């Protein structure tokens, strides 16, 4: 499949898939403010886990520093969704994964996968519901999981556990951010 066609297909698929959460968001908002009772029930199938891992690694790929998979981000995402998010987000996430399944995400080549994600990113911005869209969820959890993991944090930033002083300084060229 040519890249352009893939994107077109994705657009059709996603267009459909993404209108659903928007519509449902209103009803879900009610639930979101109540304590969650079925959080425990949230889990991913093996295929879904593979899609999550693929996307996380595309967001934070292994370069000269570790990537999302190296530091356990995929499992982190699933755990976080289960423990810290409620039904509307769970549904939004599963629906997102369903659309990825429909476009056979795992079978696409890297360029095509990136194309899908770019499209997803733009589409997500159009969603006005209060439920966080799939792309935003997977992106925020990937970044959180990666940049606060030991390997991810130490590879990315200058880790200062105990600064010992407070100083106004001038940034050196290419200086990494401090993490505490």
Partner 1 sequence: MNLNIKANKNNTFDAIVVGSGMSGGFAAKELTERGLKVLMIERGHEIKHIEDYDTAMKEPWDFEHRGKTTNLSAEERWANSRFWGLGSEEVVNHLTNDKENPYIEKRAFDWIRAYHTGGKSMHWGRQSYRWGKHDFEANAKEGIGIDWPIRYEDLEPWYTHVEKFVGISGQKEGLDVLPDGHFLPAMPLFAPEAHFKNKMMERFNRPVTVGRVANLTQPQDIHTALGRASCQYRSKCQRGCPYGAYYSSLSGSIPAAMRTNRLSILHDSIVAEIIYDEQKKRASGVRIINQNTMLTEEYFAKIIFLNAGSINTAALMLNSKSNRFQNGFGNESDQIGRNLMDHQLGSGATASIEGFEDDYVYGQRPNAMYIPRFRNWGNDKQTAYQRGFGYQGGASREGWNRGVGADGFGADFKQGLTKPGAWTISIGGFGEILPNSNNRIYLDSEKKDKWGIPMIVTDAAFVENDWAMRKDIIASAVEMLETAGFKKVTPYDRPTHMGLGIHDMGTARMGRDPKTSVLNAFNQVHDCKNVFVTDGAAMTSSSCVNPSITYMALTARASDFAVKALKKKEL
3-state DSSP call for residue 159?
strand
- On whether the CB atoms of residues 157 and 146 are closer than 8 A, the answer is no
Angle between helices 3-32 and 110-126 (to 10 degrees): 40
User: Binding to partner 1 by residue 179, rule CB under 8 A?
Assistant: yes
- φ, ψ of residue 168 to 5 degrees: the values are -80, 125
Tokens 């401090």 locate to 178
User: Binding to partner 1 by residue 19, rule CB under 8 A?
Assistant: no
Minimal distance in Å, beta carbon 6 to partner 1?
17
User: Binding to partner 1 by residue 39, rule CB under 8 A?
Assistant: yes
> By C-beta, is 23 or 121 nearer to partner 1?
121
Question: Distances from the Cα of 147 to the Cαs of 74, 83, 93, 124, 135, in angstroms?
Answer: 14, 19, 21, 23, 18
Of 44, 51, 117, 127, the one binding partner 1 by CB under 8 A? 117
User: Binding to partner 1 by residue 84, rule CB under 8 A?
Assistant: yes
Among the listed ranges 8-16, 20-28, 45-53, 162-170, the one in contact with partner 1 (CB under 8 A) is 162-170
Binding site for partner 1 (CB under 8 A): 35-36, 39, 58-61, 63, 65, 79-80, 83-86, 114, 117, 121, 136, 139-140, 143-145, 147-150, 153, 156-157, 160-171, 174-180
């Amino acid at each position: 499949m040519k890249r352009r066609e893939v994107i077109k297909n994705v657009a059709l698929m996603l267009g459909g898939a993404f209108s659903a959460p928007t519509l449902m968001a209103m009803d879900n908002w009610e639930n979101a403010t109540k304590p969650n009772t079925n959080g425990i029930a949230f889990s991913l199938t093996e295929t879904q886990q593979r899609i999550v891992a693929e996307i996380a690694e595309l967001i934070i790929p292994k370069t000269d520093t570790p990537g999302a998979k190296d530091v356990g981000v995929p499992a982190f995402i699933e755990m976080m969704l289960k423990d810290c998010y409620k039904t509307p987000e769970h549904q939004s996430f599963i629906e997102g994964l369903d659309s990825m399944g429909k476009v056979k995400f795992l079978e696409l080549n890297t360029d095509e996968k990136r194309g899908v994600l770019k499209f997803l990113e733009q589409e997500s911005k159009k969603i006005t519901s209060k439920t966080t869209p799939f792309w935003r969820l997977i992106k925020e959890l990937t970044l959180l999981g990666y940049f606060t993991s030991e390997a991810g944090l130490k590879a990315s930033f200058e880790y200062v556990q105990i600064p010992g002083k407070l100083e106004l300084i001038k940034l050196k060229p290419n200086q990494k951010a401090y993490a505490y």
